[in-house]
């Protein structure tokens, strides 16, 4: 992308970030509830996660058990609901979804960075995850622009995971619209990861009493309220959850798994000096609060420039990467 085009793109894209307007009534969601089990859509069995009403229509949030992609399906197209995680285990015992949840179960002991922290793509590259914890600062748009510049020869949208919070969405409507524009115009393939609604944090508290381990945390509300907000803003929640501060406990992870969500950590939090390797889930912050992480990622991109050009260093989508890990092609 040359400079003139980049400028035009940025100006144009700013125009697409419409001013905040009240949500149309038909976007509002009601009767939101867990609806975990197996349903049949057409002739295919898939995983059901949630049921809700939007306007006067009922929808299910469903997930493909192999590539983990989620979508919304009108309830009338879904038949034969078999309730519970047990039904999922029985119907899809060898699926990527079930294997991923079992892997999380094995890595739920530690206080920080439990869950799946890396994947193993067959080719070289990383999974990029960008966290949007609550912040007063604007989105790091330069990061997305740098990705577009570096991967400009790519025909496919650039895969990136964005871990989003309700409090960030409340304050950054225009930035959110800008990212949705990048997604809609196929520049990016965004996996929207639930990062809790309020992302509570008090600097003076020790980790074991902080973030979602803080007293009076309503875990169900933190998860479901954020999903509702994502849906009302036109984002489809993925099957993934990232704990604020990557801080969790066995109980918390069990609760999240019980909601049908796969806990994602990171083995390469760049601002903390962790070095990425092939298959790393790299963590940076796109909310303006951790410029050092963005700087480290820009350095990484620069060091891989020639490999990006000859396609020997890539970005992978979280779902695709896990699919490759758990179901390697023969």
Residues forming contacts to Zn ion in the complex (CB under 5 A) are: 131, 133, 244
Residues near 298 by beta carbon (within 8 Å), at least 6 away in sequence: 143, 146
Q: For residue 234, what are its two tokens? A: 């036109």
Give the nearer residue to Zn ion in terms of CB position, either 133 or 256: 133
Quote the distance between the C-alpha of residue 250 and its chain's center. 21
Least separation in angstroms between residue 57's CB and Zn ion is 33
Give the nearer residue to Zn ion in terms of CB position, either 51 or 222: 222
Determine the residue with CB nearest Zn ion.
Answer: 133
CA dihedral sign, ordered 137, 139, 142, 146: positive
Give the nearer residue to Zn ion in terms of CB position, either 74 or 291: 291
Least separation in angstroms between residue 252's CB and Zn ion is 15
Least separation in angstroms between residue 145's CB and Zn ion is 23
For residues 119 and 109, what is the distance between their CA atoms, to the nearest angstrom? 19
Least separation in angstroms between residue 313's CB and Zn ion is 27
Quote the distance between the C-alpha of residue 66 and its chain's center. 17
Q: Angle at CA 172, nearest 5°, toward 295 and 232?
A: 125
Strand partners, 73: 60
Strand partners, 116: 264
- In angstroms, the first-to-last Cα distance of the chain is 38
Give the nearer residue to Zn ion in terms of CB position, either 38 or 270: 270
The beta strand positions in 133-253, using DSSP E, are 158-164, 188-194, 237-241
Least separation in angstroms between residue 186's CB and Zn ion is 28
Is residue 19 classed exposed, middle or buried when 0-12, 13-18 and 19+ CB atoms within 10 A define those classes? exposed
116 DSSP assignment: B
Give the nearer residue to Zn ion in terms of CB position, either 85 or 271: 271
For residues 70 and 10, what is the distance between their CA atoms, to the nearest angstrom? 30
Give the nearer residue to Zn ion in terms of CB position, either 237 or 244: 244
Q: For residue 220, what are its two tokens? A: 């169900």
The answer to whether the CB of 95 falls within 8 A of the CB of 71 is: no
Give the nearer residue to Zn ion in terms of CB position, either 62 or 246: 246
Least separation in angstroms between residue 90's CB and Zn ion is 35
Least separation in angstroms between residue 213's CB and Zn ion is 14
């Amino acid at each position: 992308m040359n400079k003139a085009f980049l400028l035009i793109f940025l100006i144009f894209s700013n125009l697409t970030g419409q001013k905040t307007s009240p949500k149309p009534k038909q976007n509002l969601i009601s009767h939101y509830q867990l609806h975990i089990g197996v349903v049949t859509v057409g002739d295919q069995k898939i995983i059901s996660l949630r049921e809700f009403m939007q306007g006067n229509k009922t929808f299910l949030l469903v997930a493909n058990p192999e590539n983990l992609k989620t979508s919304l399906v009108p309830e009338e197209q879904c038949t034969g609901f078999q309730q519970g995680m047990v039904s999922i285990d029985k119907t899809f015992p060898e699926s990527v979804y079930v294997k991923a949840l079992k892997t999380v179960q094995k890595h739920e002991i530690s206080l920080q960075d439990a869950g799946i922290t890396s994947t193993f793509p067959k080719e070289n590259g990383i999974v990029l995850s960008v966290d949007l914890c609550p912040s007063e600062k604007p989105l790091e748009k330069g990061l997305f622009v740098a990705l577009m510049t570096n991967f400009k020869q790519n025909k496919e949208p650039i895969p990136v995971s964005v871990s989003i919070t309700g409090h960030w969405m409340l304050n950054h409507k225009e930035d959110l619209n800008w990212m949705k524009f990048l997604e809609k115009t196929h520049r990016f393939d965004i996996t929207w990861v639930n990062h809790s609604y309020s992302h509570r944090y008090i600097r003076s508290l020790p980790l074991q009493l902080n973030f979602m381990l803080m007293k009076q945390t309503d875990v169900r509300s933190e998860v479901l309220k954020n999903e509702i907000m994502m849906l009302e803003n036109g984002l489809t929640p993925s099957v993934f959850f990232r704990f604020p501060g990557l801080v969790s406990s066995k109980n918390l992870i069990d609760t999240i798994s019980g909601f049908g969500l796969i806990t994602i950590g990171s083995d390469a939090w760049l601002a903390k000096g962790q070095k990425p390797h092939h298959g790393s889930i790299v963590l940076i912050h796109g909310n303006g609060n951790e410029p050092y992480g963005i700087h480290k990622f820009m350095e990484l991109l620069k060091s891989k420039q020639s490999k990006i050009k000859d396609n020997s260093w890539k970005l992978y989508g979280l779902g695709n990467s896990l699919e490759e890990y758990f179901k390697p092609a023969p």
